[in-house]
């Protein structure tokens, strides 16, 4: 698809552009955002790359629309070719960007992602969607329980746990419900075999929300993909930022 056909997709994408160098496009997860999901990495990545990201529109969109919108955002920022770093739902956005815009995408780095939801994922999404309609503190406790690893939670003091719940409850982005619903419809299995760019898949081995078997399915389906496993829950930016950055750096080299 020509970028000319999707230029209007940038209307509701507020871009973040940092640094200079080869292009790196960020695709965040459901209920997250560029700074929320990639914050600890941004300054370091911007030392060597032009880093482009955008939070998904509050109004939502299909997987095609999110992929097209992010690609258009990068092109509008003057970045014509780029590696896509996808996290969680963003891995499906990244895969779709690669298959719809093969002239733009030069590589993929897919972290804590999935090709399609399974029964466990469906249950987690059901609870997430239901809790979004009510008490945000209860929602935050649920998300910490499933997204943080047992060692990470065990290391928190009572005061730190209280602060983490409070901060998470206050930071749920508008549009989260639509993003959670989008995860239900994700199924990129049929297009994985057509990915023809260097791909690194990063599995989070202590992840209860998106268990590592999903990353292994991505790696198995993409020709020549490399798989790296990092000991972390789903919130890898909080639990293992240095290991995540090192894996990303190696792939970008």
For residue 248, give the CATH number of its domain.
3.40.50.1820
Tens digit of pLDDT for each residue in 110-149? 999 999 999 999 999 999 999 999 999 999 999 999 999 9
* 164 occurs within a structural domain: no
* 125 occurs within a structural domain: no
State yes or no: pLDDT of 8 exceeds 70: no
* 79 occurs within a structural domain: yes
* 50 occurs within a structural domain: yes
What pLDDT is recorded for position 14? 80
Tens digit of pLDDT for each residue in 112-122? 999 999 999 99
* 94 occurs within a structural domain: yes
DSSP state for residue 3 in the 8-state scheme: G
State yes or no: pLDDT of 2 exceeds 50: no
Maximal C-alpha separation, the chain: 53
Kindly state the average pLDDT of the residues 42-50: 98
Q: Please, are residues 112 and 204 in contact by the beta-carbon 8 Å criterion?
A: yes
Q: What is the domain extent for residue 26?
A: 16-118+177-252
State yes or no: pLDDT of 245 exceeds 50: yes
DSSP 4-16: GGTGGGGGG-EEE
Give the contacts of 145 (CB within 8 A, at least 6 positions apart): 153, 208
Number of domains making up the chain: 1
* 170 occurs within a structural domain: no
Kindly state the average pLDDT of the residues 221-246: 98
* 61 occurs within a structural domain: yes
State yes or no: pLDDT of 11 exceeds 90: no
Alpha helices in the chain (DSSP H): 34-46, 63-76, 89-100, 119-132, 136-147, 150-154, 158-170, 176-185, 189-192, 212-221, 236-239, 241-252
What pLDDT is recorded for position 3? 37
State yes or no: pLDDT of 5 exceeds 70: no
Q: Please, are residues 24 and 83 in contact by the beta-carbon 8 Å criterion?
A: yes
* 134 occurs within a structural domain: no
């Amino acid at each position: 698809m020509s970028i000319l056909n999707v230029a209007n997709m940038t209307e509701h994408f507020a871009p973040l552009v940092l640094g200079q160098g080869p292009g790196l496009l960020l695709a965040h997860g459901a209920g997250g955002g560029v700074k929320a999901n990639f914050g600890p990495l941004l300054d370091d990545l911007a030392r060597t790359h032009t880093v482009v990201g955008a939070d998904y529109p509050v109004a939502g969109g299909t997987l095609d629309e999110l992929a097209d919108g992010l690609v258009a955002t990068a092109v509008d920022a003057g970045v014509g070719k780029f590696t896509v770093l996808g996290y969680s739902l963003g891995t499906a956005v990244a895969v779709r960007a690669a298959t719809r815009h093969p002239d733009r995408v030069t590589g993929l780095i897919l972290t804590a992602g999935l090709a399609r939801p399974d029964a466990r994922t469906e249950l987690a999404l059901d609870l997430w969607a239901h809790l979004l309609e009510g008490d945000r503190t209860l929602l935050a406790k649920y998300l910490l329980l499933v997204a943080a690893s047992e060692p990470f939670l065990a290391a928190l003091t009572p005061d730190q746990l209280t602060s983490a719940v409070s901060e998470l409850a206050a930071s749920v982005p508008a549009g989260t419900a639509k993003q959670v619903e989008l995860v239900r419809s994700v199924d990129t299995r049929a297009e994985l075999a057509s990915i023809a760019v260097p791909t690194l898949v990063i599995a989070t081995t202590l992840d209860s929300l998106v268990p590592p078997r999903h990353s292994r399915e991505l790696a198995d389906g993409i020709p020549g993909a490399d798989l790296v496993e990092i000991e972390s829950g789903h919130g890898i930016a909080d639990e293992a930022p240095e290991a995540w950055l090192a894996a990303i750096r190696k792939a970008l080299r």
